[in-house]
Structure 1
Amino acid sequence: MGVEITTHVLDSPRHRTSYLSAGPPDGPLMFFVHGFPGLGAMWRPQLDHFAERGWHCVAPDMRGYGGSSVPTGAAAYAVAEVVDDMVELHDALGGRAAVWVGHDWGSEVVWSMAVRHAERCRAVVSLTVPYIPGGLTLEHLTPLVDRSLYPVEVFPLGQWEYMQLAIDEPELVAEEFAADLEATFAVVFRGGDPMTLGTPSFTSIVRAQGGWFGPSRRAPKMDRDETVLSEELLDTLVRAYGKTGFLGPHRWYANAGEELRAGRPGPGDSRVRPPVLFVHASWDPACETVTSRLAEPMREACDDLTEVVIDAGHWVALEKPGDVNAGIADWLGKTLRTGPHPM
């Protein structure tokens, strides 16, 4: 059965945030922040686990997703705007310092919370996406590319070629993803494969072939990977994206790094002070952090960093929820030695 999970909406003059809530309202706060192409509902295994142990768990649909606002202007998707969304939600829930857990683009939001609003963070957990002090931009990612795997003359941007495509042609990519929703999610949400280690990620060729799915402009039909994508989650994703489409989520790419510009903290102010747990997914082909240099800037910028490795692909929280939940719970038990921290 699991715990009761309820849906709520926070409206402000600037934004609407839809979010899932589970666990006692007076319990210590834990936020779960999704990335692309996700929803708050993707955190169901974590909501069940931690709510049962006394945490007040909150999983928002991020800006551009699900039941939250879907602005039309590209500038509305700067991470600084999304961070302000989370500040509004945090304040509405009482503003007590919380544990912030992020994945994919949600990790970038959580890292920004830790830098800009350290007082709101008891602890920070990032899955698969390490901290890049200058922002998750091609400018800062490309120098970290493993050139033995991605020769510059073939893959100028390495595994991040797909990001440039999203920046250059967001409408095209959004149309591709929307052409057959069930097929898209069946292709995207797949478990990790250790046999892909040491080979270029599929994300490195999408720009050269003019799109994610080649000339057909639609995802090929594949069986759903039940180890990652349940029928219930697939139905939830199809319903949500059938209403919102994919353009808003793809606008995030054009705004990467904006939270560190225009009066935001600069490189000299970008250390991560709260304690951090980083979860490596050893079979993640794009965010490969185990053998590459991708995690090096994070190690230099965090005051208190713990790292764990889980054998899974990019969707590690769905593929190996038991390992993820146990890893987070064990680390929190050792890290939060003052105040309430039910396990």
Structure 2
Amino acid sequence: MAEMSTNLTHHEVTYTYSDNYHKKIHYLASGPATGPLIIFVHGWPGSAITWKWQLEFFAARGFRAIAPDMPGYGRSTARHVASDYSQESLVEGAMMALLAHTGRTAAIWVGHDWGAGVTSSVATQHPETVRALVNLCVPFGTIERGWAGFLPLVNRERYPAAEYEYGQWDYMKKFEEDFEDTVAWFERDIPGFLKLAMQPTPRPPEDHDRVEPMMSRVRRAGWLFGSEKPPGVDEVAGEPLGSGILFDTFVGDVLATGIWPGAAYYLNHERNAAYNGGDEKRKQLTMPVLFVHAAWDLVCDTVTSRLAEPMRAACCDLTEETIEAGHAVHLEQPDVLNAAVLRFLAGKLEGR
């Protein structure tokens, strides 16, 4: 496909769901209107701009590439209503409205972190809308199904249940048990937290399978990262990933909504289980699926844990790639990731 301009444009979708409140989804778009549609769905914390390098890459190759500010982020509606951020509300309300706004009936869906939970929910509930599914770090069949979808898959050699009941997901339980105070911790210095969160992941030691990530002991410590507040921007020495317009826009997006709405994604495990769980929903996925393992991701550990097992059992046409990066694989290794996704799509969708 010919190279072309990749300027990002802004768009807005309005929709109602459940309580008839008029909500909006803001999204960035690039590439030809008639190109194959690829939708990038961010996680926590995130916003549409964190997919900048993917939007530009795929638009330049003829795709219609879009990325929404998910509900609770950036320019999208960000109410302090926890149920707005259940998988049901996100999919049946926001994602179906977004897809309809493009004038298409199906897309290539790419999700990262909680965004992978959303893309997995779309594939579960509306498989006809998914030409191909690409999940980064969080496999299909896990986080979108509530606690039962991922807690039993913790590596108990690393996290014995007697000492680490919730394994590396201890921070999620912290959100459930102490939500307002946990949100307040982040909001003491949002730019400082985001600069820390956006630091490149260093290569772990050779025995990293025995490294205990700090997210496994949050409730015991009482504070995240062992401190009463996030570090200030000037206290974080390294340059953040996407330093410049990407990072600055991202910080502005999070400051616009605060932490509460995005953090409320962690308050819906029961609702998500009711929506996606149960044997009747454990259908096989027949569309092509690509899963990208981030080799250095100690929280969403798919290399030494059993977290990828439900995906492998459910996907009829599964491709797996491993990239040497931490959790923010799309920001740490954008060229490697983009090439892997493009190679997968060329092999699976050529001529379809």
Task: State TM-score, norm by structure 2.
Answer: 0.91
Structure 1: give runs of 5+ residues left out of the alignment: none
Counterpart position of 1:165: 174
Residue 65 (structure 2) pairs with residue 51 (structure 1): no
Percent of residue pairs bearing the same amino acid type: 37
Structure 1 position 95, deviation (Å): 2.3
Amino acid at match of 1:12: Y
Counterpart position of 1:304: 317
Amino acid at match of 2:27: Y
Structure 2: give runs of 5+ residues left out of the alignment: 17-21
Q: Is the 8 A contact 2:50 2:250 kept in 1?
A: no
Q: Is the 8 A contact 1:174 1:246 kept in 2?
A: yes
Residue 303 (structure 2) pairs with residue 290 (structure 1): yes
Residue 110 (structure 2) pairs with residue 96 (structure 1): no
Structure 1 position 170, deviation (Å): 2.0
In structure 1, distance between residues paired with 2:190 and 2:117: 26
Counterpart position of 1:256: 269
Residue 34 (structure 2) pairs with residue 20 (structure 1): no
Amino acid at match of 2:335: G
Structure 1 position 215, deviation (Å): 4.7
Structure 1 runs (4+) greater than 6 angstroms displaced: none
Amino acid at match of 1:254: L
Relative to structure 1, the CA distance from residue 322 to residue 215 in structure 2 (aligned partners, 3 Å threshold; closer, same or farther) is closer
Counterpart position of 1:238: 251
Amino acid at match of 1:107: A
Structure 1 position 66, deviation (Å): 0.5
Other structure's SS at 1:193 match: coil
Q: 2:212 aligns with which of 175, 182, 200?
A: 200
Counterpart position of 2:19: none
Amino acid at match of 1:148: E
Residue 75 (structure 2) pairs with residue 67 (structure 1): yes
Relative to structure 1, the CA distance from residue 133 to residue 245 in structure 2 (aligned partners, 3 Å threshold; closer, same or farther) is closer
Other structure's SS at 1:261 match: helix
Other structure's SS at 1:32 match: strand
Other structure's SS at 2:292 match: strand
Counterpart position of 2:290: 277
Structure 1 position 41, deviation (Å): 0.4
In structure 2, distance between residues paired with 1:20 and 1:256: 29
Relative to structure 1, the CA distance from residue 157 to residue 2 in structure 2 (aligned partners, 3 Å threshold; closer, same or farther) is farther
Q: Is the 8 A contact 1:186 1:223 kept in 2?
A: no
Q: Is the 8 A contact 1:25 1:56 kept in 2?
A: yes
In structure 1, distance between residues paired with 2:105 and 2:80: 32
Q: 2:186 aligns with which of 162, 170, 177?
A: 177
Q: 2:88 aligns with which of 80, 84, 88?
A: 80
Other structure's SS at 1:108 match: helix
In structure 1, distance between residues paired with 2:245 and 2:308: 34
Q: Is the 8 A contact 1:20 1:40 kept in 2?
A: yes
Relative to structure 1, the CA distance from residue 250 to residue 159 in structure 2 (aligned partners, 3 Å threshold; closer, same or farther) is same
Residue 6 (structure 2) pairs with residue 3 (structure 1): yes
Amino acid at match of 1:273: T
Further displaced range: 44-53 or 291-300: 291-300
In structure 1, distance between residues paired with 2:273 and 2:255: 33
Q: Is the 8 A contact 2:108 2:133 kept in 1?
A: yes
In structure 1, distance between residues paired with 2:15 and 2:238: 38
Structure 1 position 288, deviation (Å): 1.0
Tell me the alpha carbon deviations over residues 264-288 of structure 1, each in whole angstroms, 9 at most, x when there is no partner. 6742233323210000000001011
Structure 1 position 139, deviation (Å): 2.8
Q: Is the 8 A contact 1:112 1:259 kept in 2?
A: no
Q: Is the 8 A contact 2:170 2:218 kept in 1?
A: yes
Residue 31 (structure 2) pairs with residue 31 (structure 1): no
Other structure's SS at 2:269 match: coil
Other structure's SS at 2:73 match: coil
Other structure's SS at 1:208 match: helix
Q: How many residues align?
A: 337
Task: State TM-score, norm by structure 1.
Answer: 0.93
Q: Is the 8 A contact 1:134 1:257 kept in 2?
A: no
Tell me the alpha carbon deviations over residues 177-228 of structure 1, each in whole angstroms, 9 at most, x when there is no partner. 12112210121112223325221112111121112143523335212444x2
In structure 2, distance between residues paired with 1:192 and 1:136: 28
Tell me the alpha carbon deviations over residues 61-99 of structure 1, each in whole angstroms, 9 at most, x when there is no partner. 001011000122212211111112110110111123210
Further displaced range: 204-213 or 273-282: 204-213
Relative to structure 1, the CA distance from residue 290 to residue 277 in structure 2 (aligned partners, 3 Å threshold; closer, same or farther) is same
In structure 2, distance between residues paired with 1:261 and 1:280: 27
Tell me the alpha carbon deviations over residues 322-343 of structure 1, each in whole angstroms, 9 at most, x when there is no partner. 110000000101100333xxxx
Q: Is the 8 A contact 1:115 1:273 kept in 2?
A: no
Amino acid at match of 1:321: P
Q: Is the 8 A contact 1:104 1:129 kept in 2?
A: yes
Relative to structure 1, the CA distance from residue 54 to residue 72 in structure 2 (aligned partners, 3 Å threshold; closer, same or farther) is same
Counterpart position of 1:267: 279
Q: Is the 8 A contact 1:79 1:257 kept in 2?
A: no
